[in-house]
């Protein structure tokens, strides 16, 4: 009793020795909770993005269902509308409905879905998580500074401030980048269609508004979706080389060359503003936690790889398709522009100026390989210190090994999807083997997985027994699949859009 009373009296005699310790303990606890919350969001980022894509897809489906289509006599059913919403949000451009069946308001719904489903837009979500965490830590450090000056130095607090400023600046750069490319792309496409009557007449003959087409195509190209408001995609514009060349930079800026262009944008902002935060971003890209901000050397390797793939594909395409029916009647300049456009789109965008079913088998196999590759594939060596931050390595080392051992590789899941689709489409494969063959199904699955959108379509001319009631449509091959097959391909599109969370899968399997 005497001891307790003595301790109680000492607290009032020497309050500075107890109250600061208690407040400091609370500060540390608050900081730990903030870090735990952030780590929970990081570990469950897959779940958060999956919920984001599924919920927004359902919202897009409801919007498309509510609005009237342009072809009211043959309106798309509910499954096809949901498929289209998923395809637009996952920027896959797999089609089960002809695009000209959508009304102008429905096209604007697709524009919104493509915009908020693009990789640049969704990447800002993780960037905001990082910004919130740093802001929380910054406020905690400010409160704890007078209490624990001997524990945390002023240099540490200044570093936290610089890091928070860098992440905030990066967020503004990405937002400005997203806005600038989409707005400038829309204006350039619109200006071209107004000045070049042959291109504008194509839209006027189809009753498509030039401004809607321009914005739709710019957003679709930057998001690497591949949708256009025209049934034939970009085939009616294959002779308009300048239009194709205007779209190519937008495609590259939104996906495969986004990291190099982002570093260039940050460098420009550094030169104009002279802010220290931009220098910190360029020198310490991994500290921001932004996956798309790569070190300088790795950005150079990536740009070299992308340009190398485009060059090889273009040369391959010209060598095998120069005198093909798809390029008939085109000048040399137009053929080169078409080959370049096709090669850029084969990685992830999915826009096309030729009928893919008419291309040679060698070109199609090359396209399958290109569609399978992740966007930031680089064949040049990168040192270990540029692979990621120490936090990422520590996080990976603490991952659940039991779960990791159960995760298959990407190609294993694709094989499973192909097998399931072959089962659901067994009857069609037996009755119509030229359209429903294994390679066509594999091509469709790889295209959906890569969120590309390339498809052979369906042709009545390939029927073994001619059907007078058969009609050729301009949508993808999946449009002729059963409901079960379409549902499986929806899963493939979701899986492909979220494949970055499973790039390390299949390590437990060894081929001896």
Would you state the torsion angle of the CA atoms of residues 198, 200, 202, 204, taken in this order, to the nearest 10 degrees? -140
% of the chain with per-residue pLDDT over 70: 78
Q: How many angstroms from the chain centroid is the CA of residue 44?
A: 19
Tell me the pLDDT tens digit for each residue of 359-380.
999 999 999 999 999 888 886 6
pLDDT confidence of residue 137: 61
Q: Residue 379 corresponds to which tokens in the numbers above?
A: 């064949």
The CA distance from 9 to 4, in Å, is 9
Please give the angle made by the CA atoms of 192, 197 and 199, to the nearest 5 degrees: 65
Q: Which residues, 6 or more positions from 400, have their beta carbon under 8 angstroms from its beta carbon?
A: none
* 3-state class (DSSP) for residue 90: coil
Please give the angle made by the CA atoms of 350, 354 and 359, to the nearest 5 degrees: 100
Q: Find the range with the poorest average confidence among 173-182, 334-343, 384-393.
A: 384-393
Q: Residue 114 corresponds to which tokens in the numbers above?
A: 């493509």
The CA distance from 310 to 320, in Å, is 15
Q: What is the residue extent of each domain of the chain?
A: 407-502
Nearest to 496 by CA among 375, 407, 405, 392: 375
pLDDT confidence of residue 23: 46
pLDDT confidence of residue 32: 58
Please give the angle made by the CA atoms of 458, 463 and 465, to the nearest 5 degrees: 155
Given a cut of 80, whether residue 216 has pLDDT beyond it is: yes
pLDDT confidence of residue 145: 53
Asked if residue 27 lies in contact with residue 143, where contact means CB atoms within 8 angstroms, the answer is yes
Per the listing, tokens 């391959």 go with: 316
Tell me the pLDDT tens digit for each residue of 132-155.
776 666 555 555 555 445 445 444
Please give the angle made by the CA atoms of 436, 317 and 95, to the nearest 5 degrees: 40
Comparing 388 with 408, the larger pLDDT belongs to 408
Asked if residue 256 lies in contact with residue 376, where contact means CB atoms within 8 angstroms, the answer is yes
Given a cut of 90, whether residue 499 has pLDDT beyond it is: no
Tell me the pLDDT tens digit for each residue of 221-253.
999 999 999 999 999 999 999 999 999 999 999
pLDDT confidence of residue 389: 45
423: left (phi over 0), alpha (psi -120 to 50) or beta: alpha
Tell me the pLDDT tens digit for each residue of 286-305.
888 888 999 999 999 999 99
What's the pTM? 0.84
């Amino acid at each position: 009793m005497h001891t307790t009373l003595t301790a109680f009296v000492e607290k009032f005699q020497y309050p500075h020795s107890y109250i600061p310790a208690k407040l400091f303990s609370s500060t540390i606890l608050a900081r730990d909770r903030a870090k735990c919350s952030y780590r929970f969001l990081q570990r469950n980022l897959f779940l958060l993005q999956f919920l984001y894509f599924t919920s927004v897809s359902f919202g897009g489906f409801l919007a498309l269902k509510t609005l009237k289509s342009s072809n009211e006599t043959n309106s798309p059913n509910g499954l096809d509308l949901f498929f289209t919403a998923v395809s637009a949000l996952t920027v896959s451009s797999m089609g089960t409905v002809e695009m000209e069946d959508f009304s102008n308001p429905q096209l604007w719904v697709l524009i919104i879905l493509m915009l908020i489903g693009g990789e640049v837009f969704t990447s800002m979500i993780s960037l905001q998580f990082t910004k919130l965490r740093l802001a929380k830590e910054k406020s905690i450090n400010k409160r704890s500074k007078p209490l624990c000056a001997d524990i945390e130095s002023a240099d540490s607090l200044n570093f936290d401030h610089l890091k928070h400023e860098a992440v905030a600046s990066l967020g503004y750069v990405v937002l400005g980048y997203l806005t600038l490319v989409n707005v400038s792309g829309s204006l350039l496409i619109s200006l071209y269609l107004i000045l070049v009557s042959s291109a504008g007449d194509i839209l006027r003959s189809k009753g498509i508004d030039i401004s809607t087409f321009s914005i739709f195509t710019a957003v679709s190209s930057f998001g690497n979706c591949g949708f256009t408001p025209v049934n034939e995609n970009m085939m009616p514009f294959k002779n308009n080389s300048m239009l194709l060349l205007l779209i190519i930079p937008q495609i590259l800026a939104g996906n495969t060359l986004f990291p190099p262009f982002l570093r260039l944008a940050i460098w420009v902002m550094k030169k104009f503003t002279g802010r220290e935060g931009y220098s910190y971003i360029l020198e310490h890209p991994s500290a921001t936690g932004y996956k798309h901000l790569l070190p300088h050397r790795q950005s150079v390797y990536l740009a070299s790889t992308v340009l190398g793939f485009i060059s090889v594909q273009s040369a391959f395409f010209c060598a095998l398709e120069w005198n093909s029916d798809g390029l008939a009647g085109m000048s040399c300049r137009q053929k080169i522009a078409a080959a370049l456009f096709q090669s850029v789109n084969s990685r992830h965008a999915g826009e096309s100026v030729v009928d893919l079913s008419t291309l040679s088998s060698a070109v199609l196999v090359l396209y399958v390989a290109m569609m399978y590759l992740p966007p930031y594939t680089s064949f040049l060596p990168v040192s270990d210190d540029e692979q990621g931050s120490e936090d990422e390595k520590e996080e990976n080392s603490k991952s659940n090994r039991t779960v990791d051992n159960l995760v298959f590789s990407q190609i294993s899941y694709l094989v499973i999807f192909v097998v399931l689709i072959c089962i659901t489409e067994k009857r069609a494969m037996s009755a119509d083997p030229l359209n429903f063959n294994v390679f066509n199904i594999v091509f469709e699955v790889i295209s959906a997985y890569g969120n590309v959108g390339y498809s052979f379509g369906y042709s009545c001319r390939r029927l073994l027994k001619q059907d007078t009631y058969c009609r050729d449509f301009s949508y993808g091959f999946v449009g002729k699949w059963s409901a079960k097959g379409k549902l499986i391909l929806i899963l493939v599109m979701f899986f492909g859009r979220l494949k970055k969370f499973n790039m390390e899968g299949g390590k437990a399997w060894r081929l001896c």
